[in-house]
């Protein structure tokens, strides 16, 4: 009987120890097999402490947040330190669907065993003020507390700054965590490779930042494709309406790109204040763009003879400002160096091409200007220098709708003599003109078709 009692006593001790062990390791664990990411949580009884064990591959950054969405969610983000030999832990809170900001009021005690081991982040930490924050709380009685997670792009972020700017996540998802199961004796959870008291509800979902892509593509198409084509149209096509239509098309591309850029700026801490060089230069470039749109208006162009001449220098200034704006935008968006170098190369090639085309146009004049000059000179030639019977034929056709020179009336002959001071038959009757008469245009008319050639006047009687 005594031995039986002693056996019961030992059994009770083992049960108590086993129960204590289970209670000490109370935790809920999120585990994503694809990346071997683990986030385990322990809520200490009788305390506001939150014990965290967090491990994941050393991407540029990885984070887990308390909440159904980004807005007002408390997130714990990890990324490599400046030297790449340890991990920076950054508690952040998001104001909306935008980059979260560092929350200095959240106090995390980083414990021994934290670092980067075999290209894996390993974090052991105790949060002293994580159960309540501005905009949210951890509901310790919730058996399906909403949680979120996200992964940044490749290894390009190394910083000791807990508020460093982040690139947009490439994948994200959601899960529910049982906070009741996570409550127990306070202790850092152990490493695990399986889900415990957690249910995956989404993802990981591949993210697409289509607005940013459209912003870049529209801007580059306007500058490096449509702009050079428009300069060619302006220089070598007589129909000025094609140049005007293409200019409107380019302006539409740029306006849409500007609108997308303003929308994107609100998503990132580095651009929310609109004080980056990229944004400042973009706003400066609006001024010459507006002037280019207003200069062709007749009331403005008529104010001074030099106003139309501002079109070419303003075009060059606008193009230069927009190209510089695009380059600074790539830097603001933390684009890879090969992309930035490719942009610079294309910009230089297009700039050289435009310079050569504009020099050619300046030397020979645009097709529209030359055609306009020829039309003007041609009208003057026909008015001032009649050409015998050929000129009479034009007068007859315009006043009578047809007929031959032989059917001219007396009044038509008088009209010719009044305009030109001589008889329409003078050229054929041995006139004193050095160029002769006839029914075909003479040398005098042909010479005046070419600006710069001395003008020969008809001898007066």
Contacts of 167 (CB under 8 A, 6+ apart): 60, 61, 152, 153, 156, 157, 334
The Cα–Cα gap between 459 and 76 comes to: 97
Residue bearing tokens 């929308």: 263
The Cα–Cα gap between 197 and 381 comes to: 96
Q: Which of 176, 207, 238 is the last residue of a domain?
A: 207
Q: In this structure, are 217 and 316 located in the same domain?
A: yes
Among the listed residues 323, 79, 340, 109, the one whose alpha carbon sits nearest the alpha carbon of residue 223: 323
Q: In this structure, are 246 and 159 located in the same domain?
A: no
Q: Which of 178, 207, 236 is the last residue of a domain?
A: 207
What would the pLDDT profile of 34-57 be if each residue is shown by its tens digit? Answer: 999 999 999 998 888 999 999 999
Q: Is residue 378 part of a domain?
A: no
Q: How many domains does the chain have?
A: 2
Q: Is residue 393 part of a domain?
A: no
From the centroid of its chain, how far is CA 187?
48
Element (H, E) at 441: none
The Cα–Cα gap between 218 and 256 comes to: 8
Q: Is residue 371 part of a domain?
A: no
CA-to-CA separations, 287 to 282, 337, 447, in angstroms, rounded: 10, 31, 45
What would the pLDDT profile of 152-184 be if each residue is shown by its tens digit? Answer: 987 778 999 999 988 888 999 999 999 999 999
Q: In this structure, are 128 and 216 located in the same domain?
A: no
Q: Is residue 395 part of a domain?
A: no
> What is the reported pLDDT for 376?
64
Q: In this structure, are 251 and 196 located in the same domain?
A: no
pLDDT along the chain (461 residues), means of 10: 50 48 73 94 90 92 93 94 92 89 92 93 92 91 95 86 90 94 92 92 87 93 95 88 91 94 89 91 92 80 76 90 95 88 96 92 78 64 44 49 48 51 46 41 50 52 47
Q: In this structure, are 97 and 178 located in the same domain?
A: yes
Q: Which of 146, 181, 207 is the last residue of a domain?
A: 207
Q: Is residue 247 part of a domain?
A: yes
Contacts of 273 (CB under 8 A, 6+ apart): none
Among the listed residues 202, 66, 91, the one whose alpha carbon sits nearest the alpha carbon of residue 146: 66
CATH number, domain with residue 110: 2.60.40.1210
Q: In this structure, are 176 and 238 located in the same domain?
A: no
Structure tokens at 258: 């500007």
Based on its alpha-carbon atoms, the radius of gyration of the chain, rounded to whole angstroms, reads: 41
Contacts of 37 (CB under 8 A, 6+ apart): 30, 31, 55, 56, 57, 62, 149
Cβ atoms of 209 and 192 closer than 8 Å: no
Q: In this structure, are 86 and 235 located in the same domain?
A: no
> What is the reported pLDDT for 4?
46
Residue 81 main-chain phi, psi, to 5 deg: -75, 180
Q: In this structure, are 237 and 343 located in the same domain?
A: yes
Q: In this structure, are 34 and 156 located in the same domain?
A: yes
Structure tokens at 213: 């892509």
Q: In this structure, are 159 and 258 located in the same domain?
A: no
> What is the reported pLDDT for 459?
54
The Cα–Cα gap between 286 and 275 comes to: 16
Q: Is residue 384 part of a domain?
A: no
List the Cα angle 145/27/100 in 5-degree steps.
50
> What is the reported pLDDT for 209?
82
> What is the reported pLDDT for 387?
46
Write out the residue range of the structural domain in which residue 52 sits. 25-207
DSSP for 61-83, written as a single string: -EEEEESSSSBT-EEEEEEE-TT
Q: Is residue 265 part of a domain?
A: yes
Q: In this structure, are 285 and 178 located in the same domain?
A: no
pTM of the model: 0.69
Structure tokens at 225: 């494709």
Residue 46 half-sphere exposure, CB side, CA atoms within 13 Å? 3
The Cα–Cα gap between 156 and 170 comes to: 13
Q: In this structure, are 290 and 337 located in the same domain?
A: yes
Q: Is residue 451 part of a domain?
A: no
What would the pLDDT profile of 327-346 be if each residue is shown by its tens digit? Answer: 999 998 888 889 999 999 99
Among the listed residues 288, 365, 367, the one whose alpha carbon sits nearest the alpha carbon of residue 324: 288
Count Cβ atoms within 10 A of the Cβ of residue 355 and give its class: 0-12 exposed, 13-18 middle, 19 or more buried: exposed
């Amino acid at each position: 009987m005594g031995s039986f009692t002693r056996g019961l006593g030992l059994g009770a001790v083992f049960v108590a120890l086993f129960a204590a062990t289970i209670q000490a390791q109370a935790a809920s664990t999120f585990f994503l097999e694809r990346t071997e990411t683990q986030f385990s949580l322990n809520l200490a009884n009788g305390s506001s402490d939150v014990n965290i064990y967090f491990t994941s591959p050393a991407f540029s950054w990885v984070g887990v947040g308390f909440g159904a969405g980004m807005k007002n969610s408390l997130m714990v983000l990890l990324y490599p330190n400046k030297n790449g030999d340890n991990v920076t832990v950054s508690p952040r809170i998001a104001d909306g669907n935008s980059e979260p900001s560092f929350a200095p009021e959240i106090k995390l005690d980083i414990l021994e065993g934290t670092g980067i081991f075999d290209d894996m982040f390993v974090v052991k930490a105790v949060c002293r003020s994580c159960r309540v924050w501005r905009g949210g709380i951890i509901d310790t009685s919730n058996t399906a507390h909403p949680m979120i997670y996200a992964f940044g792009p490749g290894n390009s972020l190394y910083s000791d700054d807990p508020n460093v700017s982040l690139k947009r996540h490439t994948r994200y998802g959601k899960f529910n965590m049982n906070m009741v199961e996570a409550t127990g004796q306070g202790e850092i959870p152990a490493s695990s490779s399986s889900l415990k008291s957690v249910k995956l509800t989404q993802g990981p979902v591949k993210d697409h930042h289509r607005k940013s892509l459209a912003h870049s593509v529209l801007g580059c198409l306007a500058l490096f494709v449509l702009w050079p084509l428009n300069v060619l149209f302006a220089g070598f096509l007589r129909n000025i309406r094609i140049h005007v239509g293409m200019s409107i098309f380019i302006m539409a591309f740029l306006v849409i790109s500007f609108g997308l850029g303003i929308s994107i700026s609100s998503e990132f801490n580095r651009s929310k204040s609109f004080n980056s060089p990229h944004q400042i230069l973009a706003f400066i470039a609006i001024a010459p763009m507006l002037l280019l749109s207003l200069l062709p208006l007749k009331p403005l162009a008529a104010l001074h003879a030099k106003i139309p001449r501002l079109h070419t220098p303003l075009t060059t200034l606008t193009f230069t400002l927009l190209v510089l704006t695009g380059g600074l935008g790539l830097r603001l968006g933390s684009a890879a160096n090969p992309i930035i170098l490719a942009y610079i190369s294309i910009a230089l090639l297009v700039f050289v091409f435009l310079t050569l085309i504009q020099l050619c146009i300046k030397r020979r004049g645009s097709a529209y200007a030359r055609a306009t000059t020829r039309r003007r000179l041609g009208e003057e030639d026909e008015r001032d220098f009649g050409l015998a019977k050929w000129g009479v034929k034009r007068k007859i056709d315009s006043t009578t709708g047809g007929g031959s020179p032989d059917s001219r009336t007396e009044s038509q002959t008088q009209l010719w003599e009044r305009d030109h001071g001589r008889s329409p038959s003078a050229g054929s009757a041995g006139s004193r003109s050095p160029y002769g008469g006839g029914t075909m245009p003479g040398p005098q008319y042909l010479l005046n078709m070419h600006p710069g050639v001395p003008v020969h006047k008809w001898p007066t009687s």
